[in-house]
Amino acid sequence: STSSSSSSSAPRQPYVVNGQTYQLDEWSNTPPSILSKVNRNIHRLPSHPISILRQIVEDHFSSHTALSPSTPIVSVHQNFDELGFPPDHPGRSLTDSYYLNKEYMLRTHTSAHEVESYRRGLDKWLLSADVYRRDEIDSSHYPVFHQMEGTSVWSLDQLHTLPELNKELAAQLEKCPIQIEDNTKISPSNPYQAHHDPIHAEQITQNLKHSLNSLIFRLFGKQATKDGEPLRVRWIEAYFPFTTPSYEVEVWWEGEWLELLGCGVVMQKTLDQAGVPDKAGWAFGLGLERLSMVLFSIPDIRLFWTQDPRFHTQFSAGKISTFKPYSRYPPCYKDMSFWLPQGAISDTAGKGSGSVAGGGGVSAAGGKGRVFHENDYCEIVREVAGDLVETVTLIDEFTHPKTSRQSKCYRLNYRHMDRSLSNEEVNELQQKVQDRVVEEMGIEMR
Ligand code: FA5
Ligand code: MG
């Protein structure tokens, strides 16, 4: 299916990225504002919080090889097919991912490099990179963010070393001051793999949990209490097409559970694809921004992209320090109420769920104006207002009792990171957003 806004926001010239040309087709939906982020490499700036955390994690997993691919462009095959994503997985849709064309895309997760890395014969590696997703707009979501993939696999004849490793890790964890809640269990919806000896599957799962808990201990050990409250971390069951059992780790932050990472026991199919069928092990994918926000007390994900020295001078390599917010300029919000096209259905799937994890379905409705996707709306807002927009929140929804027509009202909150915005400026932005959504999404202002 193609989305109604993708064709209009796509350029007419082929994409040229890092000297490579990508011909356009009906999948091309990557706007220039996104491509401009491709070579920023904030995860490699030595004293940027994203990079500080990357280094600490690399230090913690010191026997793992650290990898950092040079381009975020991967084939659709690498990002999805090779990892067993079904053809109708919502993450594949144009509303969730950025495509250069039907064959190439901006990776949506660092797992896109799993098969090639296992194929190189690497057993223990970490990989850090920028990843790209079309998403909602708020303080913890941004269309470009950074992930760190980590994995350990063993040849089947090395698995007997696991009980000893697990015992050592368990002993270290006894000193961990953080309450880590784990009520997960193996069940038909989150099973061990039929291919694995259940004893091995259990040992791998335990090694996964101990290894990540030990990382949490390393990262959060000194902040076991925050504002007098004990830090809360929990394991929950999850689903990924390329792992089972699968889990997510969350931390209680600013009054809600914030997801830090997804992980699981690598699906045998992935290792088969990579030509290493006689191995087994685990993998995780960690969101570096989310972790940084908690550890450095960074209140807004957009700050990672600021060039303001008042941000950058606060951090130094190797050190987790508390960010002291410099005076923020006042916000300014404007509401936008509109009618969806007659008969249109609305899709806000993915809210808070993360696109590679599943939920919802790829809409097959297609056709201009038939489906209202919140991500399409948000992208137009970003295209017009860039980082000046802080949040986009649905504040009201309404279906007309006679015509069944649907109406929505979004609140757009604007704030400049470095100065005050004038009311005229904001009105102008709001008007531009309005003009574009009317033209591109077929909606009608109320
Ligand atoms: C994944 O991306 C899987 N590849 C993780 C994985 C790897 C599972 C290996 C199993 C084995 P998910 O979509 O949940 O899963 O994203 C992983 C993490 O990235 C999240 O926990 C979160 O910390 C971060 N993240 C996801 N979306 C955003 C976003 N829009 N902005 C900032 N961080 C995000
Ligand atoms: Mg997730």
Q: Say what the ipTM of the complex is.
A: 0.99
Any idea of the CA torsion for 15, 20, 21, 24, to the nearest 10 degrees? -50
CA 267–ligand 2 middle distance (angstroms): 17
Q: What is the pLDDT of residue 193?
A: 98
Stretch 383-406: mean pLDDT, rounded? 92
* Segment 75-123, tens digit of pLDDT: 999 999 999 999 999 999 999 999 999 999 999 999 999 999 999 999 9
286 to 111, 248, 252, 265, 389: CA distances (angstroms)? 11, 10, 16, 15, 26
- Domain annotation for the chain: domains and CATH numbers: 37-72+107-312 (3.30.930.10), 327-445 (3.30.70.380)
CA 207–ligand 2 middle distance (angstroms): 21
Distance CA(67)–CA(127), nearest Å, equals 4
User: Is 147 a pocket residue for ligand 1 (Cβ < 6 Å)?
Assistant: yes
Pocket test for ligand 1, best of 37, 57, 109, 113 (most atoms within 8 A of CB): 109
Cβ atoms of 154 and 162 within 8 Å: the answer is yes
Residue type, 242: F
Pocket test for ligand 1, best of 356, 375, 378, 392 (most atoms within 8 A of CB): 356
Average per-residue pLDDT for the chain: 90
User: What contacts 202, CB < 8 A, 6 or more positions away?
Assistant: 192
CA 287–ligand 1 middle distance (angstroms): 6
User: Is 146 a pocket residue for ligand 1 (Cβ < 6 Å)?
Assistant: no
Q: Which ligand is nearest to the CA of 108?
A: 1
User: Is 109 a pocket residue for ligand 1 (Cβ < 6 Å)?
Assistant: yes
Pocket test for ligand 1, best of 290, 292, 300 (most atoms within 8 A of CB): 290
* Segment 340-376, tens digit of pLDDT: 988 888 876 444 333 454 333 333 334 444 689 999 9
User: Is 79 a pocket residue for ligand 1 (Cβ < 6 Å)?
Assistant: no
Nearest CA to ligand 1 atom 19: 287
Higher pLDDT, 357 or 254: 254
Distance between the two ends of the chain, CA-based, in angstroms? Answer: 29
